[in-house]
Amino acid sequence: MASNAFLYLGGAALLLAACSTQPIPAPDTELPLFGGYRSAEDPCQRVGETDQTNTYLSDAADLVGCPVGSPEAEAFAAETGGFVVATLGGYTLFSVPRR
């Protein structure tokens, strides 16, 4: 009886560990990028609408992509108030509220 309880608890823990709050990467896709977001040289760029990005677009926020793993991507949220919504085409996508 006790061994069954451990099996159930172990299975539940395994299922919970598999859940993640991280964005799920989608297949690589070409994103429409429209120049640097904070400056012309900024590698983080405004992202346009496609079938893959339209669920992340909002009238109250800008959709911005930073190259995955770049130092700019790591600092972007803190600098802009944006939050990660997805990873597409080699870019981490952020929704940046308009102020």
Which range among 5-19, 55-69, 78-92 shows the weakest confidence by mean pLDDT?
Answer: 5-19
Confidence band of 29 (pLDDT split at 50, 70, 90): low
What does the pLDDT read at residue 1? Answer: 52
State the pTM of this model: 0.69
The pLDDT tens digits of the residues spanning 78-96 come to 999 999 999 998 999 999 9
Task: Compute the distance between CA of residue 11 and CA of residue 94 in angstroms, rounded to an integer.
Answer: 34
**Neighbouring C-alpha atoms within 13 Å toward the C-beta of 15:** 6
Task: Compute the distance between CA of residue 26 and CA of residue 90 in angstroms, rounded to an integer.
Answer: 10
What is the mean predicted confidence (pLDDT) over 43-49?
Answer: 94
What is the mean predicted confidence (pLDDT) over 66-89?
Answer: 92
